[in-house]
Structure 1
Amino acid sequence: MRTVTLIIIHCSATPEGRSLDFEACRYDHIHHRRFSDIGYHFYITRDGEIYRGRALEKVGAHCRNHNSHSVGICYEGGLSSEGSPMDTRTLEQKASMLALLRELRNVFPRALIVGHHDLNPMKPCPCFNAVKEYSSL
């Protein structure tokens, strides 16, 4: 198993009222971004369903300069219907994210939980303060 020091939370930058399911995100990453697979290790849709992307043993493609030592989690959403950054997580997504983070904490107890914005301030992603929200885990 590789050494993981970060668990990085992302949003898909999908406006409210529009859908970007797991397979659509995977298709975009493979066919438009030319990745070998979806860049995230996990993807959480609005209904709270958690999809496995890349295997944890594999390096992700979700945060430049941090992929080799991180796990990437993305939730569907992150933009208002007008396209402005906004925390659009549903109650189902919040519950699933918390459960997933608790599981990952067991596997990677020393990993810091951060938002993409914390590593790249030019990006609003994940459109909420992940460090503050998950500081008690």
Structure 2
Amino acid sequence: MRNIKYIAVHCTATAQTAKIEAIQNYWREHLGWTMPGYHFIIKADGALVNLLPIEKVSNGVKGFNSETINICYIGGIDKKGVPKDTRTIEQKATLLATLKVLKNKFPTAIIQGHRDFPKVKKACPSFDARKEYQDLKTI
């Protein structure tokens, strides 16, 4: 098992209607990635999709991927492309439930947004994940 130090929260920086297949195609065709950007992605209806086993390394945070589990919600921008917390009630519930499971499995892992990592110049996940989940304990 990998030594997990972080659980990174992301947004896709797309409309909530974006399809997972389109996101995966972008990774392959434009970024040249063979592995997905996230372990989990949450659709607007709250459905959790596992894209990669947590034992494998995803491409979520450059320089930190070997020690990070990456979870993402579809959305994160408004209609003009400006960063905004667009999580649905269902996405918020699924994200919280998934973070609880991951925190139970990796109790010392730090939950934070992509933007909270060093040298990251993004708004992702378009809300303060550290603040929102700072009191999250193991279940």
TM-score range, shorter chain: over 0.9
Greater shift, 117-126 or 65-74, is seen at 117-126
The alpha-carbon deviation at position 32 of structure 1 amounts to: 2.0
SS in 1 for 2:31: coil
- State whether structure 2 residue 56 is matched by structure 1 residue 58: yes
Once the two structures are superposed, what CA deviation does each residue of 1:34-61 show, in whole Å capped at 9, x if it has no partner? 1113221000011101000111011110
Matches within 5 A, 1:1-137: 1-15=1-15, 19-119=17-117, 120-137=119-136
The alpha-carbon deviation at position 26 of structure 1 amounts to: 1.6
Separation in structure 2 between the aligned mates of residue 24 and residue 96 of structure 1, nearest angstrom: 22
Separation in structure 2 between the aligned mates of residue 83 and residue 62 of structure 1, nearest angstrom: 21
Query: What is the TM-score when the length of structure 1 is the normalising length?
Result: 0.94
Structure 1 spans left out of the alignment, 5+ residues = none
Separation in structure 2 between the aligned mates of residue 24 and residue 78 of structure 1, nearest angstrom: 16
Aligned pairs, how many?
135
Separation in structure 1 between the aligned mates of residue 36 and residue 123 of structure 2, nearest angstrom: 21
The alpha-carbon deviation at position 22 of structure 1 amounts to: 1.9
Give every structure 1 segment of 4 or more consecutive aligned residues whose post-TM-superposition deviation is greater than 4 Å. Answer: none
Q: What letter matches 1:92 in structure 2?
A: E
Sequence identity of aligned pairs in percent? 43
Separation in structure 2 between the aligned mates of residue 87 and residue 79 of structure 1, nearest angstrom: 7
The alpha-carbon deviation at position 121 of structure 1 amounts to: 4.4
* RMSD of equivalent CA atoms: 1.2
Once the two structures are superposed, what CA deviation does each residue of 1:72-117 show, in whole Å capped at 9, x if it has no partner? 0111000001110100000000000000001101111110000011
SS in 2 for 1:97: helix
Q: What letter matches 1:122 in structure 2?
A: K
Greater shift, 4-13 or 31-40, is seen at 31-40
SS in 1 for 2:28: helix
SS in 2 for 1:7: strand
Q: What letter matches 1:11 in structure 2?
A: C
Do the aligned partners of residues 93 and 110 (structure 1) sit closer, same or farther apart at CA in structure 2, a change above 3 Å counting? same
Greater shift, 88-97 or 19-28, is seen at 19-28
